[in-house]
Amino acid sequence: MLSQIVSALIVMVVGVFAAAAYFYLTNRILDLALPDTGDVVKASRNLRTRAMIRPWLFLGPAVLLLAIYLVYPVIATLILSFYGRDAQEFVGASNYIWAINDAGFRQSIFNNILWLAVVPAACTFFGLIIAVMTDRLPWGNFAKSLVFMPMAISFVGASVIWKFIYDYRGEGQIQIGILNSIVQYFGGKPEVWLAIPFWNNFFLMVILIWIQTGFAMVILSAALRGIPEETIEAAVIDGASGWQIFWKIMVPQIWGTIATVWTTITILVLKVFDIVLTMTNGQWNTEVLANLMFGWMFQGGGDSGRSAAIAVVLMLAVTPIMIWNIRRANEEMKGR
Partner 1 sequence: MSIGKRLARIGLPRLIINLTVFVVVALWVMPTLGIFVSSFRDKDQLTVSGWWTAFSSSERNEAGRLGGLDLMKQEGPIYVISGNVLEGRGGAVNAFGTKAVAPRAYKAGTEADLGDGIKLSINSDGAYRYTSTAPFTDDNTGRRVYLAVATPPVFTMVNYKNVLTGEGIGQSFVNSLTVAIPATVIPILVAAFAAYALSWMSFKGRTLLLAAVVGLIVVPLQMSLIPLLRLYNDVGTFLGVPSKTYAGIWLAHTAFGLPLAIYLLRNYIVGLPKEIIESARVDGAGDFEIFTKIVLPLSFPALASFAIFQFLWVWNDLLVAMVFLGTEKDKLVLTGALNALLGSRGGNWEILSASAFVSILVPLLVFFSLQRYLVRGLLAGSVKGG
Partner 2 sequence: MKKLLLLGVAVAALAGGSAQAVDLKFKPGEDSKFNWASYDAYKKAHGDLKGETLTIFGPWRGEDEKLVTTVLNYFSEATGVTVKYSSSENYEQQIVIDTQAGSPPNIAILPQPGLLADLASKGFLTPLGDDMSKWIKDNYGAGQSWVDLGTYKGKDGKKAFFAFPYKADLKSLVWYVPENFKEAGYKVPATMEDLKALTEKIVKDGGTPWCIGLGSGGATGWPATDWVEDLMLRTTTPENYDKWTTNELKFNDPIVEKAIDEFGWFAKNDKFVDGGAKAVASTDFRDSPKGLFGVPPKCYMHRQASFIPSFFPDGTKLGKDADFFYFPPYASHPELGKPVEGAGTLVTIAKDSKAARAFVAFLQTPIAHEVWMAQSGFLTPYKGVNTAAYANDTLRKEGELLTSATTFRFDGSDLMPGKIGAGAFWTGMVDYVSGKSSAQVADQIQKAWDGLK
What is d(CA 67, CA 64) in angstroms, rounded to the nearest whole number?
5
Q: Which residues contact 61 (CB under 8 A, 6 or more apart)?
A: 19, 22
Q: Is residue 263 a contact point for partner 1 (CB under 8 A)?
A: yes
Q: Is residue 84 a contact point for partner 2 (CB under 8 A)?
A: yes
Partner that binds at residue 102, options partner 1, partner 2, none, CB closer than 5 to 8 Å by kind: partner 2
Partner that binds at residue 195, options partner 1, partner 2, none, CB closer than 5 to 8 Å by kind: partner 2
Segment 197 to 236, residues that bind partner 2, using CB under 8 A: none
Please choose, out of 7-15, 92-100, 115-123, 190-198, the segment that lies near partner 1 by the rule CB under 8 A: 7-15
Q: Is residue 222 a contact point for partner 1 (CB under 8 A)?
A: yes
Segment 154 to 173, residues that bind partner 2, using CB under 8 A: 159, 163, 167-171, 173
Q: Is residue 27 a contact point for partner 2 (CB under 8 A)?
A: no
Segment 181 to 210, residues that bind partner 1, using CB under 8 A: 181, 210
Nearer to partner 1, 37 or 197 (CB): 37
Nearer to partner 1, 41 or 51 (CB): 51
Q: Secondary structure of the chain: what % helix, strand, coil (to 5)?
A: 80, 0, 20
Residue 91 near residue 84, CB atoms below 8 Å:
yes
DSSP letter for 174, please: P
Q: Which of 93, 97, 100, 152 binds partner 1 (CB under 8 A)?
A: 152
What is d(CA 217, CA 211) in angstroms, rounded to the nearest whole number?
11
Segment 54 to 73, residues that bind partner 1, using CB under 8 A: 54-56, 58-59, 61-63, 65-66, 68-73
Q: Which of 46, 77, 200, 280 binds partner 1 (CB under 8 A)?
A: 77
Residue 115 near residue 317, CB atoms below 8 Å:
no
What is d(CA 81, CA 73) in angstroms, rounded to the nearest whole number?
12
Closest CA to 289 of 277, 301, 303: 277
**CB 105: neighbour CB atoms within 10 A?**
21
Partner that binds at residue 161, options partner 1, partner 2, none, CB closer than 5 to 8 Å by kind: partner 1
Residue 121 near residue 135, CB atoms below 8 Å:
no
Residue 314 near residue 289, CB atoms below 8 Å:
yes
What is d(CA 255, CA 220) in angstroms, rounded to the nearest whole number?
10
What is d(CA 316, CA 322) in angstroms, rounded to the nearest whole number?
10
Q: Which of 264, 280, 285, 286 binds partner 1 (CB under 8 A)?
A: 264
Residue 207 near residue 201, CB atoms below 8 Å:
no
Q: Is residue 283 a contact point for partner 2 (CB under 8 A)?
A: yes
Three-state DSSP state, 154:
coil
Considering CB under 8 A, how many residues would be counted as binding partner 1? 130
Q: Is residue 55 a contact point for partner 2 (CB under 8 A)?
A: no
Q: Is residue 314 a contact point for partner 1 (CB under 8 A)?
A: yes
Q: Is residue 92 a contact point for partner 2 (CB under 8 A)?
A: no
Nearer to partner 1, 43 or 224 (CB): 224
Nearer to partner 1, 198 or 283 (CB): 283
What is d(CA 143, CA 136) in angstroms, rounded to the nearest whole number?
11
Q: Which of 26, 278, 321, 325 binds partner 2 (CB under 8 A)?
A: 278
- Alpha carbon 107 to its chain centroid, in Å, reads 23
Q: Is residue 181 a contact point for partner 2 (CB under 8 A)?
A: no
Q: Is residue 277 a contact point for partner 2 (CB under 8 A)?
A: yes
Interface residues toward partner 2, by CB under 8 A: 3-4, 7-8, 10-11, 14-15, 18, 84-86, 98, 102, 159, 163, 167-171, 173, 192, 194-195, 277-284, 295-303
